[in-house]
């Protein structure tokens, strides 16, 4: 089992840094993936990208409805119609906003064994794929909205969904 790592918080410049491709399978990356899963679960998130813990790699983990997905070097193949929903980020604590993203997405990515796999996601899973893939490009969800659209959950509790 891995160890929890410190999650970087915006405006840490490492969240905006370029990332490098990963080459799976790799024992060192397996340890990193274990750390990412522990960190994500401890923080109560549904996804975590390597840059969020200071690793400039094209690697993310996502867990929706009990299904853990590891994506290395992901690429979007297809997107569906747009939908607006609440979104937050472990690197932007206590803030959420309504963000427009594709409600359905098809992604290809390397799995933990290095196989190129196709993933189809709808709803929260589609949103998580897009959110984590943005991290791998140095983008945060706040780049997709106006600053005035951010809601401070400490002052105005919001029930996403």
pLDDT confidence band for 89 (50 / 70 / 90): very high
pTM of the model: 0.94
Q: What does the alpha-carbon distance between residue 64 and residue 127 come to, in Å, rounded to a whole number?
A: 11
Active-site residues, by number, are: 132
* Sequence-separated (6 or more) residues with CB below 8 Å from residue 22: 29, 57, 58, 59, 72, 73, 110
Total structural domains within the chain: 1
Query: Is residue 160, in this structure, part of any structural domain at all?
Result: no
- pLDDT tens string 53-83: 999 999 999 999 999 999 999 999 999 999 9
Query: Is residue 38, in this structure, part of any structural domain at all?
Result: yes
For the domain that residue 46 is a member of, what is the CATH number?
Answer: 3.90.45.10
Segments forming the whole domain that contains residue 122 = 13-152
């Amino acid at each position: 089992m891995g160890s929890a790592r410190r999650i970087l918080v915006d405006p840490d410049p490492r969240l905006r840094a370029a990332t490098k491709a990963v080459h799976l399978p790799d024992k060192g990356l397996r340890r990193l993936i274990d750390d990412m899963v522990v960190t994500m679960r401890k923080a109560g998130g549904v996804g975590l990208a390597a840059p969020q813990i200071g690793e400039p790699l094209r690697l993310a983990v996502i867990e929706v409805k009990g299904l853990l997905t590891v994506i290395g070097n992901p690429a979007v193949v297809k997107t569906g119609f747009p939908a607006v929903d609440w979104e937050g980020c472990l690197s932007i604590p206590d803030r959420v906003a309504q963000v427009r993203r594709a409600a359905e997405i098809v992604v290809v990515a390397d799995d933990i064994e290095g196989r190129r796999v196709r993933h189809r996601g709808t709803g929260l899973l589609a949103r998580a794929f897009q959110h984590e893939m943005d991290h791998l490009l140095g983008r945060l969800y706040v780049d997709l909205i106006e600053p005035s659209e951010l809601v401070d959950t400490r002052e105005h509790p919001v029930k996403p969904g």
